[in-house]
Chain A
Amino acid sequence: MERSETSPYGTLWKTWGLLLALTVVMVFVDVMGLPRILLLVVLIAAMLTKAFFISSRFMDLRHEKMVVGLAVAFSLLFFGAILFALMIPDGFAILHGGR
């Protein structure tokens, strides 16, 4: 993999700053008292953005073949989500029916 001649440290500083800023925004939004759905959307979007930058800049996935990052992200997000999604109907059934 070719690396640019400029210092790699610059990107790392910028990523660090971005991650910290996102964290602050997330906490702020949390205590602000938004309607539930909107809160979830914003927080999850921010969370995924942080995850993206950590993977791509810190773990250097940006410089690997794209299929690596896609495979890792897909495996984790898809299977995590589908496990959760298919358990949710039972969760609601318990909530409403006390099963």
Chain B
Amino acid sequence: MTRANTAETAAHEKQSFLRRYLFSTDHKIIGIQYYLTGGLMGILGAFLAGLIRLQLTWPTTQWNFLAKIFPTGMEGGFMKPEFYLSLVTMHGTIMIFFFVSLVLVSGFGNYLIPLQVGARDMAFPFLNMLSYWTIVPAILIAAASFFVEGGAAGSGWTAYPPLSAVPSAAPGSGSGQTLWLLAVALFIASFTMGGLNYVTTVLNLRAKGMSMMRMPLTVWSLLVASVIGLLAFPALTAAAIMLLFDRHLGTSFYLPAGLFIAGKLLPNEGGSPLLWQHLFWFLGHPEVYVLILPALGITFDVLVPFARRPAFGYRVTVYCLVAIAFLSMVVWGHHMFVSGMNPLVGEFFSIGTLLITIPSTIIGVNMIASLWGGKLRLTTAALFAIGTISFFGVGGFGGLFLGNAAADVQLHDTAFVVGHFHFMIGGVTLLAIFSGSYYWFPKMFGRKLSEILGRFHFWMTVVPFYGIFATMHFYGLAGAPRRYYNLTQYEFLEGVRWMPMVITVFAFTLMAGQLLFLVNLVRSLWAGEKAEANPWEATTLEWSAPSPPPHGNWGENDPVVYRGAYEYGNPEAKEDFVPQTVPAQKVPAHS
């Protein structure tokens, strides 16, 4: 553990703009880079969602201005079916990998982990910088895939073969699919580099006194998420390599005999699409926990200071995070219930999936209980954190239906699933991103975000979100399938024809509400209310560093930790909170 190196800090001052801000190895700059990059991709993902809503609600309308942006996909102002498939594919891919993962795991993770464990930076800052600069080509490739012949990949973010394995199968199976695979491969490389840093830093670089059970839940959740990500991604790497081979080298990993596509009998034999499904979902399922666990951790970190009482059941929450993580790695088959799998195997996956509800519910209850008896300070950050609990509970209900193999046969690939996962990885995560943003913005930039704009933003997010995705559950129950580009032609959906319209109205409201956040961000960077080191009177370590912290975070001396992360309401303290750095002689430690 090194002392502050003032010579090193001085050398840092002399760096060029390029070295200091663009190719920075400082975890805080890298975190902000990830946050902004992810944010931009989120806007792109939302734009794609808007296009999807237009098609689903008004499939017969001529959109001439869109034909100008997408001359092939929207030729004549009408959406081609293959373009719709590209839209749903890229919306999913971008939102999962290039928005939520980037902002929540890479953005907040990079910024917070060293600060919250008392380190000066990540274990390997150079590798950290590389991990960000690996993402940049990934997103450029993903964006560029829209403009190659055939357009962007069109086999869903799940990229099932044979559609994804045979370049001539559909327009979206051409170069767009290859570029998709390259973008995802680069993402995995970036994530791996980041994950290596996260785990190593938490293990080896904690400050003196920062035992594992004194770490904030944000760090625990990021640690656990990194571990399962590191364990699960290699399977997708293997799968993607084999898919590239099938596409370009004539192998038959996923292609069985007898496929007749685009007028030709393919020469392949001996493979199976089921192999891809297993490998993909071996990653795919833990991936959604990689996204949601940090959201839950952040929610605790935000709720607790605004309830002015310790987190309820900290230790149990840690055990639940670990239990969820382990279980999440052995239930991937619940995405494959309709694949014709052996029913006994289906039961194994079903039971495992339903078991996850137990630690998940305990965590949800612990969140609510962390508010019980507290002196609530309902800041915007707190509102978003409470909203997260709501989304987690309501969205989680859908999981009970889907985890049951028999019920899933009816619900698979309907709008019910879409509603469910948007609550979990689109809602819980989104609200956690916002609560984290309102909470940590002062630390990052030395200014607060506007509370008034924040309140409008909150209501214009949570209410429309329910309007969209709760409705979608019922639309799915009525039988509406997902990934279909025109549902207005089916008589059986006559009774629920009003639902897509309602969803779309709420969707555009939701998008409009986010403009408030963007305005708030930009405005507050220059004109926001100035914030000192600890504007929320919180206990965790990052609040004992200046706002924003300098390079090296802690100045002359490394921090020393004497107590747990959530000492609020300690009866022997003068104030209602005791920061982690206050020695035990001054105030006896309660955790």
Q: Do chains A and B touch in the complex (CB under 8 A)?
A: yes
Picked from A75, A83, A86, A99, the residue with its CB within 8 Å of the CB of B345 is: A86
Q: Given A89-B342, A93-B340: A83 and B333 within 8 A (CB)?
A: no
Q: Closest residue of chain A to B346, judged by CB?
A: A89
A90 within 8 A of partner (CB): yes
Within A49-97, the residues touching B (CB, 8 Å) are 75, 79, 82-83, 86-87, 89-90, 93-94
B333 near A94: Cβ-Cβ < 8 Å: no
Least Cβ–Cβ distance between A26 and chain B, in angstroms? 26
Bound-state Cα–Cα, A99 to B274, Å? 10
B534 within 8 A of partner (CB): no
Least Cβ–Cβ distance between A84 and chain B, in angstroms? 10
Picked from B274, B278, B344, B348, the residue with its CB within 8 Å of the CB of A83 is: B278
A79 near B333: Cβ-Cβ < 8 Å: no
B330 within 8 A of partner (CB): yes
> Which residues in B have their C-beta under 8 angstroms from that of A83?
235, 278-279, 282
A89 near B235: Cβ-Cβ < 8 Å: no
B341 near A79: Cβ-Cβ < 8 Å: no
Q: Closest residue of chain B to A87, judged by CB?
A: B278
> Which residues in A have their C-beta under 8 angstroms from that of B470?
none
Bound-state Cα–Cα, A83 to B277, Å? 12
Bound-state Cα–Cα, A25 to B248, Å? 40
Least Cβ–Cβ distance between A76 and chain B, in angstroms? 9
Q: Closest residue of chain A to B273, judged by CB?
A: A99
B278 near A86: Cβ-Cβ < 8 Å: yes
A89 near B341: Cβ-Cβ < 8 Å: yes
B282 near A90: Cβ-Cβ < 8 Å: no
CB 8 Å contact bits of B330-357 with A (1 = contact, 0 = none): 1001000001111011001000000000
Chain B at the A interface: mostly helix, strand, loop or mixed? helix
Q: Closest residue of chain A to B275, judged by CB?
A: A87
Bound-state Cα–Cα, A75 to B345, Å? 22
| Chain B residues within 8 Å of chain A by Cβ, number | 18
> Which residues in A have their C-beta under 8 angstroms from that of B72?
none
B345 near A89: Cβ-Cβ < 8 Å: yes
Q: Closest residue of chain B to A75, judged by CB?
A: B231
A79 near B278: Cβ-Cβ < 8 Å: no
B390 within 8 A of partner (CB): no
B428 within 8 A of partner (CB): no
Q: Closest residue of chain A to B238, judged by CB?
A: A83
Bound-state Cα–Cα, A86 to B339, Å? 13
Bound-state Cα–Cα, A83 to B232, Å? 11
Least Cβ–Cβ distance between A95 and chain B, in angstroms? 11
> Which residues in B have their C-beta under 8 angstroms from that of A75?
231
> Which residues in B have their C-beta under 8 angstroms from that of A82?
330
Bound-state Cα–Cα, A69 to B272, Å? 35
Picked from B231, B272, B279, B339, the residue with its CB within 8 Å of the CB of A79 is: B231
B329 within 8 A of partner (CB): yes
Least Cβ–Cβ distance between A8 and chain B, in angstroms? 26
Bound-state Cα–Cα, A87 to B526, Å? 56
Bound-state Cα–Cα, A90 to B329, Å? 19
Bound-state Cα–Cα, A75 to B279, Å? 16
> Which residues in B have their C-beta under 8 angstroms from that of A89?
341-342, 344-345
Bound-state Cα–Cα, A27 to B275, Å? 30
B342 near A94: Cβ-Cβ < 8 Å: no
Bound-state Cα–Cα, A76 to B426, Å? 32
Q: Given A83-B235, A90-B278: A99 and B341 within 8 A (CB)?
A: no
> Which residues in A have their C-beta under 8 angstroms from that of B341?
89-90
B-binding residues in A (CB < 8 A)? 75, 79, 82-83, 86-87, 89-90, 93-94, 99
Name the 3 nearest CB pairs between A and B, nearest first: A89-B342, A90-B274, A87-B278
Name 26 interchain pairs, CB-CB below 8 A, sorted by A: A75-B231, A79-B329, A82-B330, A83-B235, A83-B278, A83-B282, A86-B278, A86-B333, A86-B345, A86-B348, A87-B275, A87-B278, A89-B342, A89-B344, A89-B345, A90-B272, A90-B278, A90-B339, A90-B341, A90-B342, A93-B342, A94-B272, A94-B274, A99-B272, A99-B274, A99-B340
Please name 13 further chain A to chain B contacts, defined as beta carbons within 8 Å, in addition to the given A89-B344, A90-B342, A94-B274, sorted by A numbering: A75-B231, A79-B329, A83-B235, A83-B278, A83-B282, A86-B278, A86-B333, A89-B341, A89-B342, A90-B274, A90-B278, A90-B339, A94-B272
